[in-house]
Amino acid sequence: MLQKLIGRKKLEKTDAEMSFTDHLEELRKHIIRALLAVLIASIFIFAKIEFVVDRVLMGPVHPDFITYRWLCKLGKLLNLPELCLQDFSMKFLSNAMTEQFMMTFTLAITGGFVLAFPYLLWEIWKFIRPALSEKERKGSTGAIIWVSLLFFTGVMFGYVILTPFMVNFYSNYSLSPLIEFKPTISDYFENLMYLTVGIGLLFQLPVLIMLLTRMGIITPMTLKRVRRYAFIVILIAAAIITPSTDPFSLALVSLPLYLLYEFSIVLSNRIYKKHYEVVEEEWS
């Protein structure tokens, strides 16, 4: 009987009273598993690196890339010939002995991070799950799916929409006819990685707004009050990303970002109302 009681006490301590060292040990396990997932995905990308580079990463530098064809068809349909982006030819330099070799590892690791992103979220969720209440656990059901969906949507938006505009603009831009444009392959790949992965992380804005609202740092009223300033910031960012002068190109980039902001307001409003109702119930 005494042994059963001691065993029950140990179980309660394990579930509810983990020490700081125990938390660090648990965090270390989650980090190791997450890094192993990235490593495995990186090895897969490394094994298929020629296909990934030739068929995927180099896609936006070909004039027959799917985005250019779609825009040209849409331009003919809407009688907007400027949507047919200028023809261009781009070749890259590699002027360092180890540049291509080191870039192979960089691409593999970045690709591994993108592929393993849902599992990374799963490990984060498993670590913070014990600290959540039963209601919070039920309320966060499907969070990993939605966060992953937002991330991959942002990556595809950066790859299919933003990268082709960037490549086409900078390949046709010339400060002087005396200057010959010969970009390095590392410069292209770095811009591509920053743009796609960066936009993927930027698409986590609704998740960030949800967390800040739940913490009481941001309210939906504040987001609505600064809506006009947010729209201006989005337009400026879209103008920088798409230097083309036609309004369609500007709308093509700014509209999804602004819809993302409006979606964040809706989510913030829902969370704020739920939290406000809970507070009222506690004080009633």
Q: What are the sequence ranges of the domains in the chain?
A: 21-203, 205-284
The number of C-alpha atoms within 13 Å of 57 and in the hemisphere containing its C-beta is: 27
pLDDT above 80 (res 87): no
**Residue 263: closest CA among 199, 208, 186:** 208
Position 214 confidence tier, pLDDT thresholds 50, 70, 90: confident
d(CA 49, CA 100): 12
d(CA 229, CA 131): 37
pLDDT above 70 (res 73): yes
- Measure the CA angle with vertex 264, ends 159 and 195; round to 5°: 20
d(CA 25, CA 197): 30
Q: The dihedral of CA 166, 172, 177, 178: what is its sign?
A: positive
pLDDT value of position 240: 67
Inter-helix orientation angle 205-214/247-283, to 10°: 20
**8 A C-beta contact, residue 165 and residue 241:** yes
Q: The dihedral of CA 164, 165, 170, 172: what is its sign?
A: positive
Which of 5-14, 52-61, 166-175, 263-272 reaches the highest mean pLDDT? 52-61
Residue 58 buriedness (CB in 10 A; 0-12 / 13-18 / 19+): middle
Residue 53: partners with Cβ closer than 8 Å, 6 or more residues away:
107
**8 A C-beta contact, residue 106 and residue 189:** yes
**Residue 282: closest CA among 135, 143, 130, 131:** 135
Position 77 confidence tier, pLDDT thresholds 50, 70, 90: confident
pLDDT value of position 86: 67
**Residue 161: closest CA among 243, 78, 234, 71:** 71
